Amino acid sequence: MLDVAKRQNTAPFDTERLDRLMDDAGMDVLLVTSKHNVQYLLGGHRAFFFESMDAMGLSRYLPVFVYAKGEPDKAGFFGHRMENYQNEVKPFWVSELNVKSSGSVDVMEKAVEYARKLVAKPKRIGAELAFLPADSSAVLGRAFPGSEIKDALFVLERLRAIKSPEELQMLRIASDAVIDSMAAVFHNYGAGATKTELAEALRREETMRGLTFDYCLIAAGSNLNRAPSEQRWEEGDVLSLDSGGNYHGYIGDVARMGIVGAPDDELVDLLAEVEAVEQASMKPIRAGAHGKEIYAAANGVLHKSKIHNHTHFLAHGMGLVSHEAPRLTNAGPVPYDAYDADRPLETGMVVSVETTLQHPQRGFIKLEDTVVVTPNGFEVYGDRIRGWNRAGG
């Protein structure tokens, strides 16, 4: 067994923080199975062979990271045989490594055998229930029949909440690349292009800039539908591009506006109203401010705006996962509690702020920004092309 823990001597995350979170949740051991959390706990590892798929033969790829509270030096990783190539290039830091599995059952059997060596009779086991296949869950349940299996989503989300400088740099790169890609699409396309063509052009631009394209929500003209389609972007039409592209898993998620021709006075005014809400939402962001201050500032401007009946504001956390911590509202489109509304923001947290106007005549007008909490304020990534971007301009 390759003992790389002795060579690196440290985990690539805050083990004391994880131990506290596990202690608060009453968990003795964690079995982590999502790609994003395994990546975080292994210090950036992503299985190259399974970057865009999970299915394999009669089963699926399933990574398992095992961690016993208070014993980071005994952490283990259990993965697919293809991952041994990456281990040879950049050895994993864990002390226990087994990359000889091929499916979701055999990998879990190896992982629970090791977990039993660490904690023979755990009271509570943390597992990612949304990322645990039924056959793997059955293996886990049989191995620990007297243990309670609890969802570890919250524990792992809080662990990731404060981003390291390296993580922030990846978020910056992702945000800048999405903005540059949007600018290229606005510049290179115009009247007659379909929404499908525009979304595909954005995918190519993001890919050329080193991103993995995740999605493009796109609306044109007065139509509020945001799916790619054969609808054409015509003279005088607005165009909303809202895209997520990730850099080594970290998501750049921004939205900007375009138009064929010149915006009239009403459109200039409408986008200015949206921008005013965006800017207001950012002003209170700083370490120590409560999360609810973001909403109070945004809604204070929005409720006085003439567009308030057709506009909504949303703020949510960003990182390896969209809508991760901080959790700022329980009234948004993703159902979670407002855990951070009455808690102070911390340096290194990342917040996406988005203001959306669904105008019944003029169409979908939106801005979205990625904002990083700093000790004395905030920083906006990709803070460019905020106005009306003219087609071919």
For residues 326 and 295, give the distance between their C-alpha atoms in angstroms, rounded to a whole number.
13
Residues in the chain: 393
Pair of tokens at residue 161: 């909440």
**CB under 8 Å to 53, separation ≥6 — which residues?**
61
DSSP helix/strand/coil, 162: coil
Distances (CA, A) of 385 to 98, 178, 181: 48, 11, 11
For residues 117 and 96, give the distance between their C-alpha atoms in angstroms, rounded to a whole number.
11
Rounded CA Rg of the chain: 23
CA 143, chain centre distance (Å): 33
CB of 66 closer than 8 Å to CB of 110: no
Architecture category of domain 165-390 in CATH: Alpha-Beta Complex (3.90)
For residues 96 and 115, give the distance between their C-alpha atoms in angstroms, rounded to a whole number.
11
Apex 374 CA angle, 242 and 356, nearest 5 = 25
Distances (CA, A) of 334 to 114, 159, 316, 344: 36, 20, 9, 22
| DSSP 8-state class, residue 327 | P
For residues 276 and 271, give the distance between their C-alpha atoms in angstroms, rounded to a whole number.
9
**Cα dihedral 88, 90, 91, 92 sign:** negative
Q: What is the pLDDT of residue 9?
A: 53
For residues 365 and 358, give the distance between their C-alpha atoms in angstroms, rounded to a whole number.
6
Q: What is the pLDDT of residue 4?
A: 36
CA 101, chain centre distance (Å): 28
pLDDT along the chain (393 residues), means of 10: 44 97 98 98 97 94 98 98 96 97 98 97 97 98 97 98 98 98 98 98 98 98 98 98 97 98 98 98 98 97 96 97 96 92 98 98 98 97 98 87
Distances (CA, A) of 354 to 234, 314, 363: 26, 5, 16
DSSP alpha helix (H) spans, the chain: 5-8, 15-25, 35-41, 83-89, 104-118, 134-143, 153-160, 165-188, 195-208, 265-282, 292-302
| DSSP 8-state class, residue 360 | T
Q: Which string of b and e fits 334-344 if b means at least 16 CB within 10 Å?
A: eebebbbbeee
DSSP string, 164-218: PHHHHHHHHHHHHHHHHHHHHHHHH--TT-BHHHHHHHHHHHHHHTTPEEEEEEE
Domain layout of the chain by residue ranges: 5-160, 165-390
Apex 15 CA angle, 13 and 20, nearest 5 = 130
Cis peptide before 326 (omega within 30 of 0): yes
For residues 375 and 269, give the distance between their C-alpha atoms in angstroms, rounded to a whole number.
34
CB of 198 closer than 8 Å to CB of 239: yes
Architecture category of domain 5-160 in CATH: 3-Layer(aba) Sandwich (3.40)
Q: What is the pLDDT of residue 1?
A: 27
390: how many CB neighbours lie within 10 A of its CB? 15
